[in-house]
Protein backbone atom coordinates (compact mmCIF):
# COMPACT_ATOMS: atom_id res chain seq x y z
CA UNK A 1 0.00 0.00 0.00
CA UNK A 2 1.55 3.30 -1.06
CA UNK A 3 1.88 6.29 1.22
CA UNK A 4 -1.18 8.49 1.05
CA UNK A 5 -3.42 5.75 -0.36
CA UNK A 6 -5.77 5.93 2.63
CA UNK A 7 -7.61 9.15 3.43
CA UNK A 8 -6.54 10.52 6.79
CA UNK A 9 -9.57 10.76 9.07
CA UNK A 10 -9.45 13.80 11.34
CA UNK A 11 -9.46 12.51 14.92
CA UNK A 12 -10.71 14.78 17.71
CA UNK A 13 -7.99 15.33 20.35
CA UNK A 14 -10.53 14.51 23.06
CA UNK A 15 -10.79 11.00 21.62
CA UNK A 16 -7.14 10.39 20.76
CA UNK A 17 -5.36 11.76 23.85
CA UNK A 18 -7.16 9.61 26.50
CA UNK A 19 -6.50 6.49 24.42
CA UNK A 20 -2.76 7.15 24.17
CA UNK A 21 -2.43 8.23 27.79
CA UNK A 22 -4.32 5.18 29.01
CA UNK A 23 -2.02 2.91 27.03
CA UNK A 24 1.04 4.72 28.37
CA UNK A 25 -0.07 4.61 32.00
CA UNK A 26 -0.93 0.91 31.92
CA UNK A 27 2.24 -0.01 30.07
CA UNK A 28 4.25 2.04 32.59
CA UNK A 29 2.71 0.21 35.53
CA UNK A 30 3.68 -3.11 34.03
CA UNK A 31 7.17 -1.99 33.01
CA UNK A 32 7.91 -0.77 36.53
CA UNK A 33 6.62 -3.96 38.11
CA UNK A 34 8.58 -6.52 36.12
CA UNK A 35 12.22 -7.49 35.94
CA UNK A 36 14.39 -6.47 33.01
CA UNK A 37 14.12 -9.87 31.38
CA UNK A 38 10.36 -10.08 31.31
CA UNK A 39 7.92 -8.68 28.80
CA UNK A 40 6.28 -5.42 29.75
CA UNK A 41 2.72 -5.35 28.44
CA UNK A 42 -0.37 -3.26 28.85
CA UNK A 43 -3.86 -4.69 29.17
CA UNK A 44 -5.07 -6.66 26.12
CA UNK A 45 -7.32 -3.90 24.80
CA UNK A 46 -4.31 -1.64 24.44
CA UNK A 47 -2.59 -4.15 22.18
CA UNK A 48 -5.27 -4.94 19.65
CA UNK A 49 -7.17 -3.33 16.84
CA UNK A 50 -10.94 -3.39 16.99
CA UNK A 51 -12.75 -6.61 16.11
CA UNK A 52 -14.25 -4.96 13.03
CA UNK A 53 -10.78 -4.25 11.63
CA UNK A 54 -9.03 -7.54 12.35
CA UNK A 55 -8.16 -9.94 9.56
CA UNK A 56 -8.40 -12.91 11.90
CA UNK A 57 -9.80 -14.07 15.18
CA UNK A 58 -7.54 -13.66 18.17
CA UNK A 59 -4.83 -16.09 19.16
CA UNK A 60 -2.87 -15.33 22.30
CA UNK A 61 0.91 -15.31 22.32
CA UNK A 62 0.95 -18.58 24.26
CA UNK A 63 -1.41 -20.20 21.74
CA UNK A 64 0.81 -19.14 18.85
CA UNK A 65 3.80 -20.74 20.56
CA UNK A 66 1.79 -23.91 21.11
CA UNK A 67 0.69 -24.04 17.46
CA UNK A 68 4.11 -23.25 15.97
CA UNK A 69 5.47 -26.86 16.04
CA UNK A 70 2.45 -27.92 13.96
CA UNK A 71 3.18 -25.41 11.19
CA UNK A 72 5.42 -26.61 8.38
CA UNK A 73 6.69 -25.30 5.05
CA UNK A 74 5.75 -27.19 1.89
CA UNK A 75 6.55 -25.85 -1.58
CA UNK A 76 7.28 -22.42 -0.12
CA UNK A 77 3.90 -22.24 1.60
CA UNK A 78 2.87 -22.49 5.23
CA UNK A 79 0.51 -25.28 6.14
CA UNK A 80 -0.68 -27.15 9.22
CA UNK A 81 0.34 -30.70 9.96
CA UNK A 82 -2.56 -33.15 9.71
CA UNK A 83 -2.30 -34.14 13.37
CA UNK A 84 -3.10 -30.57 14.44
CA UNK A 85 -6.81 -31.42 14.19
CA UNK A 86 -6.51 -33.82 17.13
CA UNK A 87 -4.75 -31.24 19.30
CA UNK A 88 -6.62 -27.99 18.73
CA UNK A 89 -10.28 -27.03 18.63
CA UNK A 90 -12.08 -25.91 15.49
CA UNK A 91 -12.04 -22.24 16.53
CA UNK A 92 -8.28 -22.24 17.08
CA UNK A 93 -7.70 -24.09 13.82
CA UNK A 94 -9.82 -21.58 11.93
CA UNK A 95 -7.89 -18.66 13.41
CA UNK A 96 -4.56 -20.31 12.61
CA UNK A 97 -5.64 -21.04 9.05
CA UNK A 98 -6.57 -17.39 8.54
CA UNK A 99 -3.11 -16.37 9.72
CA UNK A 100 -1.50 -18.91 7.40
CA UNK A 101 -3.59 -17.67 4.48
CA UNK A 102 -2.50 -14.10 5.16
CA UNK A 103 1.15 -15.13 5.49
CA UNK A 104 1.03 -17.16 2.26
CA UNK A 105 -0.58 -14.23 0.47
CA UNK A 106 2.27 -12.02 1.67
CA UNK A 107 4.85 -14.55 0.46
CA UNK A 108 3.24 -14.73 -2.97
CA UNK A 109 2.67 -11.01 -3.43
CA UNK A 110 6.20 -10.09 -2.40
CA UNK A 111 7.97 -13.04 -4.07
CA UNK A 112 9.51 -14.22 -0.80
CA UNK A 113 11.24 -17.45 0.09
CA UNK A 114 10.42 -19.18 3.37
CA UNK A 115 13.29 -20.76 5.29
CA UNK A 116 11.88 -24.24 6.13
CA UNK A 117 13.91 -24.43 9.35
CA UNK A 118 13.21 -21.04 10.93
CA UNK A 119 9.87 -20.73 9.07
CA UNK A 120 10.68 -17.09 8.43
CA UNK A 121 11.13 -14.82 5.44
CA UNK A 122 13.82 -12.28 6.27
CA UNK A 123 13.32 -9.32 3.96
CA UNK A 124 16.11 -7.37 5.61
CA UNK A 125 19.63 -8.61 6.26
CA UNK A 126 21.42 -8.15 9.58
CA UNK A 127 18.21 -8.29 11.61
CA UNK A 128 20.31 -8.79 14.73
CA UNK A 129 23.23 -6.48 13.97
CA UNK A 130 25.37 -5.11 16.78
CA UNK A 131 24.03 -1.65 15.94
CA UNK A 132 21.72 -0.39 13.22
CA UNK A 133 20.18 3.07 13.00
CA UNK A 134 17.20 1.57 11.15
CA UNK A 135 14.68 -0.96 12.46
CA UNK A 136 14.63 -4.26 10.59
CA UNK A 137 12.12 -7.08 10.55
CA UNK A 138 11.48 -10.73 9.81
CA UNK A 139 8.15 -12.24 8.73
CA UNK A 140 6.75 -15.43 10.24
CA UNK A 141 3.50 -17.33 9.72
CA UNK A 142 1.90 -15.47 12.61
CA UNK A 143 3.09 -11.94 11.74
CA UNK A 144 6.32 -9.91 11.91
CA UNK A 145 9.12 -9.34 14.39
CA UNK A 146 10.66 -5.85 14.37
CA UNK A 147 14.23 -5.51 15.64
CA UNK A 148 15.58 -2.37 17.34
CA UNK A 149 19.32 -2.50 17.96
CA UNK A 150 19.64 1.22 18.70
CA UNK A 151 17.62 4.10 20.07
CA UNK A 152 17.77 5.62 16.60
CA UNK A 153 15.92 2.58 15.24
CA UNK A 154 13.18 3.01 17.84
CA UNK A 155 12.93 6.70 16.97
CA UNK A 156 12.54 5.78 13.30
CA UNK A 157 9.61 3.46 14.03
CA UNK A 158 8.01 6.01 16.37
CA UNK A 159 8.32 8.62 13.63
CA UNK A 160 6.71 6.32 11.06
CA UNK A 161 3.87 5.42 13.41
CA UNK A 162 3.38 9.07 14.27
CA UNK A 163 2.40 9.88 10.71
CA UNK A 164 -0.76 8.06 9.64
CA UNK A 165 0.33 7.98 6.00
CA UNK A 166 3.72 6.48 6.80
CA UNK A 167 2.15 4.09 9.30
CA UNK A 168 0.29 2.36 6.51
CA UNK A 169 3.58 1.99 4.67
CA UNK A 170 5.55 0.32 7.48
CA UNK A 171 6.96 -2.92 6.12
CA UNK A 172 5.71 -6.29 7.33
CA UNK A 173 2.52 -6.93 9.25
CA UNK A 174 1.87 -3.40 10.50
CA UNK A 175 1.32 -2.04 7.01
CA UNK A 176 -1.25 -4.72 6.18
CA UNK A 177 -3.51 -4.60 9.24
CA UNK A 178 -6.00 -2.03 7.97
CA UNK A 179 -7.32 -2.83 4.52
CA UNK A 180 -11.09 -3.12 4.98
CA UNK A 181 -13.91 -0.71 5.68
CA UNK A 182 -14.38 2.91 4.67
CA UNK A 183 -11.23 4.93 4.18
CA UNK A 184 -12.04 7.52 6.84
CA UNK A 185 -13.12 4.91 9.39
CA UNK A 186 -9.99 2.84 8.79
CA UNK A 187 -7.76 5.89 9.05
CA UNK A 188 -9.32 6.92 12.36
CA UNK A 189 -8.94 3.45 13.86
CA UNK A 190 -5.40 3.14 12.52
CA UNK A 191 -4.43 6.51 13.98
CA UNK A 192 -5.46 5.41 17.46
CA UNK A 193 -3.77 2.04 17.03
CA UNK A 194 -0.49 3.49 15.73
CA UNK A 195 -0.46 6.10 18.52
CA UNK A 196 -0.94 3.46 21.23
CA UNK A 197 1.73 1.23 19.69
CA UNK A 198 4.14 4.15 19.44
CA UNK A 199 3.59 5.15 23.08
CA UNK A 200 4.06 1.57 24.23
CA UNK A 201 7.25 1.08 22.18
CA UNK A 202 8.74 4.34 23.48
CA UNK A 203 7.95 3.45 27.08
CA UNK A 204 9.36 -0.05 26.78
CA UNK A 205 12.53 1.26 25.18
CA UNK A 206 12.94 3.92 27.86
CA UNK A 207 12.60 1.21 30.50
CA UNK A 208 15.27 -0.92 28.80
CA UNK A 209 17.78 1.67 27.58
CA UNK A 210 20.71 -0.71 27.90
CA UNK A 211 19.10 -3.58 26.00
CA UNK A 212 18.37 -4.21 22.37
CA UNK A 213 14.68 -5.01 21.95
CA UNK A 214 12.19 -6.38 19.45
CA UNK A 215 8.45 -6.07 18.95
CA UNK A 216 6.17 -8.87 17.76
CA UNK A 217 3.03 -7.91 15.82
CA UNK A 218 0.67 -10.67 14.72
CA UNK A 219 -2.02 -10.69 12.05
CA UNK A 220 -4.70 -10.19 14.71
CA UNK A 221 -3.10 -6.84 15.54
CA UNK A 222 -1.74 -7.87 18.94
CA UNK A 223 1.75 -6.60 19.77
CA UNK A 224 4.32 -6.98 22.56
CA UNK A 225 7.93 -5.97 23.19
CA UNK A 226 10.74 -8.21 24.44
CA UNK A 227 14.45 -8.16 25.21
CA UNK A 228 16.63 -9.26 22.30
CA UNK A 229 18.82 -12.03 23.71
| pLDDT tens track for 141-181 | 999 999 999 999 999 999 988 876 666 778 888 888 876 65
At residue 132, the pLDDT reads 80
At residue 180, the pLDDT reads 60
Measure the CA–CA gap between 168 and 164, rounded to whole angstroms: 7
- Look at residue 108 and tell me whether its pLDDT is greater than 70: yes
Name all contacts of 161-164 with Cβ < 8 Å and 24+ positions apart: 161/194, 161/195, 161/197, 161/198, 161/201, 162/194, 162/195, 162/198, 164/6, 164/8, 164/190, 164/191, 164/194
Measure the CA–CA gap between 24 and 18, rounded to whole angstroms: 10
pTM: 0.72
- Look at residue 1 and tell me whether its pLDDT is greater than 70: no
Amino acid sequence: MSKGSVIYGVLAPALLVPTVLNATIKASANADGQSIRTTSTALPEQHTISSTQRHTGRLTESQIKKVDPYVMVVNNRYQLRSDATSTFGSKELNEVQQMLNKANENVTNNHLTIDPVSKSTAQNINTRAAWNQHYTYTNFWWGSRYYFTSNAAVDEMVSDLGNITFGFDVAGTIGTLFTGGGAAAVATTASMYFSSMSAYLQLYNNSHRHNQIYMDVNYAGDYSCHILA
